[in-house]
Amino acid sequence: MRAVCHRCQFILERCLCAQISPVFNKTSLIILQHPGEKKHALNTVKLMEKIFQHIHVFSGELFADDEKLHSLLKSKKTALLFPGPDSQLLESSACDITQVILLDGTWKKAKKIYYLNPFLQSLPKMALKRETPSLYRIRQSSLEGSLSTLEAAVCALAVLEPELDCASATNAFKSMIDFQIEKMGQKTFESNYKKKGDE
Ligand SMILES: [Zn+2]
C-alpha cells in the first residue's frame, strides 16, 4: 500500500493539496458515478469534491430508488449534461437552471447509466458548445470532443455563473495530469497518447 495524503486522498508523491483551493459555485452539481470509475487513478470526481461547493456524488448504475438523489432533484431546476440528438445547447437555455447532473464514466458507461434510469431521460438534456480541446490528454475517449467530468463542470459553470472563477479547479486538474505523465514518463506518453499533429 502506498501512503496516501490524508487531506487530498491522493498518494503522497502526487499530493495536490498545494493546488487545491475552493471554487464558490452556487449551482449544485450532482455526479452519478459509474462504479468502475471510482478506483481510477485519473478520475476527476475525487478532486472535484475537494474544490466545489454543493456537490453530491452517487455511485452505482441504478438510481431509481435513491431517496437522497430524488429529493435533490425535486428541490431545484435540474438539467442533465448529456450530448445527444435531442439535447439543447446549455448556452441558449441556461437561465433558470440551478442544478446540473453529470454522468461520470467512459462514454459507454455514461450511456448505460442514462438508459438504465428513465428518470434521467425525462430531464432537460444539455450539451456544451466546445471551444477548447480537453486537457485530458491521457484518458481520451474515442468520442471526439469529450471532456473529463471536472472540465465539463467548469464549462457548465462558465455558462451558468459567468462571474465565477474556476481557475483553481482547472489548475489542480492540470497538475493531476502532469503528475501522471511524469510518472509514466514522457516517452510513453508521447508514443501512446499524443495524437499526430498535436504539438
Ligand atoms: Zn494532499
CA of 10 from ligand 1 middle (Å) equals 6
Question: Has residue 73 been placed in a domain?
Answer: yes
Question: Has residue 18 been placed in a domain?
Answer: no
Question: Has residue 1 been placed in a domain?
Answer: no
Question: Has residue 137 been placed in a domain?
Answer: yes
Question: Has residue 195 been placed in a domain?
Answer: no
Read off the CATH number of the domain in which 110 is found.
Answer: 3.40.1280
pTM (2 d.p.) = 0.85
- pLDDT value of residue 98: 95
**Into how many domains does the chain fold?**
1
CA of 164 from ligand 1 middle (Å) equals 25
CA of 41 from ligand 1 middle (Å) equals 14
User: Which segment of 56-60, 111-115, 132-136, 164-168 scores lowest on mean pLDDT?
Assistant: 132-136
Residue pair 68/140 in contact (Cβ under 8 Å)? The answer is no
Domain hosting residue 138, numbered range? 24-187
CA of 136 from ligand 1 middle (Å) equals 21
Question: Has residue 7 been placed in a domain?
Answer: no
CA 123 to chain centre: 19
pLDDT higher than threshold 90 for residue 30: yes
The whole-angstrom separation of Cα 118 and Cα 97 is 20
Pick the more confident residue, 189 or 163. 163
Question: Has residue 13 been placed in a domain?
Answer: no
Question: Has residue 166 been placed in a domain?
Answer: yes
